[in-house]
Amino acid sequence: MRVCPVCQTVNTDEAVRCVNCQNPLAIPVAVIGPAVGAAGYPGAPEAKNYGAPEYELGTQIEQTHAAPRLTPGTMIGKNRYQIVRVVALGGMGAVYQGIDQHLQRPCAIKEMLDSFTEQKDREQAVEWFRREASLLHDLNHQAIPRVRDSFEENNRYYLVMDFVQGRNLAQVLDEDGPHGLPEPRVRNWASQICEVLSYLHHQNIIFRDLKPANVMVGIDDRVRLIDFGIARYLRAQNESTVIVTFGFAAPEQMQGHPERASDIYSLGATLHRLLTHHDPAQNKPTVFDFPMIRSFRPDVTPQFEQIIMRALMPRPFDRWQTAGAMNRAIQALPPYIPPTQLITPNSGMVTTMTPSRSISRPLQRAEEAIIQSRQALDAGHWQEAMKYARRAVDNDKQNAQTHKMLGLVFARSQPPDPNRALQAYTESLRITPNDFETHRLIGDVYLFLLRKPLEAMTAYQQSLQINPTDFEAHRLLGMCLEQTQQDELARQHFAEAVRLAPQYVPAHMAYGQLALRLGRLKDAELAFVTALRLNNALPVARHLLAQVYERQGRMQEALREAEYAIQVDPRDQNAQATLQRLRKAARDTHNFTRPAN
């Protein structure tokens, strides 16, 4: 039952307005949080790191493949093209393998998905789609798929292109390189990508979204760039919308001013990812601070590392000035010589020695063990990670990083051991007291494992005293403040996280969830719409946006968002309840407004 706050009339649970005075009744919402120790939202970083049990979403691939728009056998393009299978579904488009019935040859068919919350977003996506067709029609390069046809049908937009048999580099990395891919192979791809970027830049075109997922590799190991949806002529850079992939976009592109050097930065980020398997979105203290490649992969040659790190310089004029210049540097590298593996006497431990490093000065065993522990932990092998972390401590007890690594393993083992994690982190801080990341990791243990937000708050505050620009610490401190009913301070820290990292989805989600709980619906709507622009396949953002629209009385939009959320994640019981409530309200409204016979 729901009691009207104006006239105290008792109404049914489904009532939207009071039956007596017609006063609007508060609509129940299923806002996630601020449960103590819970992750910020399904898929948030802490859900993966600390195993929040209520967040059991599928992988991003599973989410994006949940609701394909065209089924095998469907005929489109005036019955010329037959759909064979879905290849990929992404934020704003789907790609299918098809057969051109006229030419009897395979083709790739790209479809624009119409799942936008705002008409202006849909118009922008259509403009990008048409731009991609126009750009590709005019380009002629072996690394760029040729467009065979483009058309509109049933309010959908299609491109028909050469079908590239192969995998994108993100798939190659996941399947072939759990710890990174071999340097000779990456060198080969890097040179090819430099060639095609040089071609595009000479056409005054900036690609603007270079990342592993947008580079296909065929069975001949030749690369092809795909997804030209946000590529742009240099003379037409007046868009107000900043479209980037967080971690792969250069600083000037994040500010809305991409240039040729921005593509070179994105290439550097792509090569760094391929060699290390390190996610650039997790760079610290800022997303532009890439760790040295050889800290993950000591077998990579220093010369190749230097080429890549120069491409990653924050200031455009410090990078390679042209893709051609970077390519010439790659081609001038001496032939790659595989590293020598030595077995350390009395331990059986394999030590990797690069040819450029003297055998008389091997890598410190503690540093090697840290790298091996990190790689094992990232791969989910916590027992193996524990073995290497203990080895690192045994070899260098005065190295703060060895104790930090051991603490990470204790925190993320199954089951976690929070007390021993705290002991290891405390020992690390004894050696290096001003390590802001270790303070933040202590906060994580208190917040997510021990469920003590007050103690976590102290740790995050200490971290921010050392590094005030750590956007993740601001978000986590905001979670602690929200859980202890300090909502205004929480809002300020969420807002600061958004300011510091405008492309970071968890910051927008945290701000939006708090705004929704406080009834600040316009703020909540903006936060969730922004999150969806950054990741259009995020079901929890769709569900929460549906609740915003419901409370604003925008029932059709609320119903659309709730239906989409269920399509992507049918297991979300809260979204199911919201959808049922909205459908009942729609039926009731239809019955109420139907003319009497």
Write the DSSP string, 129-143: HHHHHHHHHH---TT
Query: How far apart are the C-alpha atoms of 83 and 72, rounded to whole Å?
Result: 5
- The DSSP symbol for 24 reads B
Sequence-distant (≥ 6) Cβ neighbours of residue 170 within 8 angstroms:
211, 212, 213
pTM of the model as a whole: 0.55
Which of 83-97, 104-118, 327-341, 356-370 has the weakest average pLDDT?
A: 356-370
- Residue 241: closest CA among 110, 119, 125: 125
User: Nearest 5 degrees, angle CA 241-CA 247-CA 250?
Assistant: 60
| Residues pairing with 99 in the sheet | 82, 106
Q: 371-425, pLDDT tens digit by residue?
A: 788 777 876 788 999 999 999 899 888 888 899 999 999 999 988 999 999 999 9
Provide the percentage of residues in the chain whose pLDDT is more than 90.
37
Give the pLDDT confidence score for residue 281 in this predicted structure: 85
HEC string for 58-74:
CCHHHHHCCCCCCCCCC
- Residue 68: closest CA among 568, 541, 535, 538: 568
The number of CA neighbours under 13 Å toward the Cβ of 439 is: 22
Structure tokens at 400: 């703060």
Q: 59-86, pLDDT tens digit by residue?
A: 232 333 334 468 889 999 999 999 998 8
Give the pLDDT confidence score for residue 99 in this predicted structure: 95
Cis, peptide link before residue 302, omega less than 30° from 0: no
- The DSSP symbol for 323 reads H
Query: How far apart are the C-alpha atoms of 597 and 165, rounded to whole Å?
Result: 62
Locate all alpha helices (DSSP H) within 396-470, ordered by sequence: 400-412, 418-431, 436-444, 453-466
Residue 162, SS3 per DSSP:
strand
Give the pLDDT confidence score for residue 145 in this predicted structure: 83
Look up tokens 């859980």; give the residue: 483
Give the pLDDT confidence score for residue 442 in this predicted structure: 96
Q: 182-225, pLDDT tens digit by residue?
A: 999 999 999 999 999 999 998 888 888 899 988 999 877 899 98
Structure tokens at 37: 């120790």
Most confident residue range from 9-23, 164-178, 355-369: 164-178
Query: How far apart are the C-alpha atoms of 531 and 91, rounded to whole Å?
Result: 12
- Residue 246: closest CA among 266, 216, 218: 266
Q: Which residue has the higher pLDDT, 109 or 16?
A: 109
Residue 308 has pLDDT above 50, yes or no: yes
Q: 264-305, pLDDT tens digit by residue?
A: 999 999 999 999 999 998 888 778 889 999 888 988 999 999
Query: How far apart are the C-alpha atoms of 476 and 501, rounded to whole Å?
Result: 14
Helices 365-378/382-395 angle, 10° precision? 160
Give the pLDDT confidence score for residue 341 in this predicted structure: 46
Residue 239 has pLDDT above 60, yes or no: no
Query: How far apart are the C-alpha atoms of 193 and 215, rounded to whole Å?
Result: 9
| Residues pairing with 223 in the sheet | 217
Structure tokens at 483: 């859980």
Structure tokens at 48: 């993966």
- Residue 93: closest CA among 74, 116, 73, 71: 116
Structure tokens at 199: 């071609």
Query: How far apart are the C-alpha atoms of 219 and 130, rounded to whole Å?
Result: 30
Q: Which domains does the chain have, with CATH numbers?
A: 74-162 (3.30.200.20), 167-331 (1.10.510.10), 367-593 (1.25.40.10)
> First vs last Cα of the chain: how many Å apart?
33
Give the pLDDT confidence score for residue 167 in this predicted structure: 87
541 phi/psi in degrees, rounded to 5: -65, -40
Complete edge-to-edge strand list for the sheet that includes strand 156-162: 75-76, 81-89, 93-100, 105-112, 156-162, 147-153
Query: How far apart are the C-alpha atoms of 409 and 374, rounded to whole Å?
Result: 9
Query: How far apart are the C-alpha atoms of 306 and 318, rounded to whole Å?
Result: 13
Please compute the mean of the pLDDT values over residues 550-577 and round it to a whole number. Answer: 84
Q: 347-375, pLDDT tens digit by residue?
A: 444 444 444 433 223 345 777 788 788 77
Give the pLDDT confidence score for residue 389 in this predicted structure: 92
Phi-psi sector, 78: left (phi>0), alpha (psi -120 to 50), beta: left
Structure tokens at 302: 């220093």
- Residue 505: closest CA among 245, 214, 181, 134: 245
Please compute the mean of the pLDDT values over residues 108-125 and round it to a whole number. Answer: 69
Count of other CB atoms within 10 angstroms of residue 10: 12
HEC string for 343-393:
ECCCCCCEEEECCCCCCCCCCCHHHHHHHHHHHHHHCCCHHHHHHHHHHHH
Which of 29-33, 132-136, 154-158, 375-379 has the weakest average pLDDT?
A: 29-33
Give the pLDDT confidence score for residue 102 in this predicted structure: 92
Give the pLDDT confidence score for residue 24 in this predicted structure: 56
Query: How far apart are the C-alpha atoms of 456 and 440, rounded to whole Å?
Result: 8
Mean per-residue pLDDT over the chain, rounded? 80
Residue 449, SS3 per DSSP:
helix
Q: 460-516, pLDDT tens digit by residue?
A: 999 999 989 888 899 999 999 999 989 999 999 999 999 888 878 889 999 999 999
Residue 594 has pLDDT above 70, yes or no: no
Look up tokens 């398997």; give the residue: 277
Sequence-distant (≥ 6) Cβ neighbours of residue 373 within 8 angstroms:
385, 386, 387, 388, 389, 392, 405, 409
Report which secondary-structure segment, H or E, holds 161: strand 156-162
Q: 128-145, pLDDT tens digit by residue?
A: 677 767 777 778 888 988
- Residue 288: closest CA among 244, 323, 329: 244
Query: How far apart are the C-alpha atoms of 389 and 404, rounded to whole Å?
Result: 9
Look up tokens 């995050």; give the residue: 460
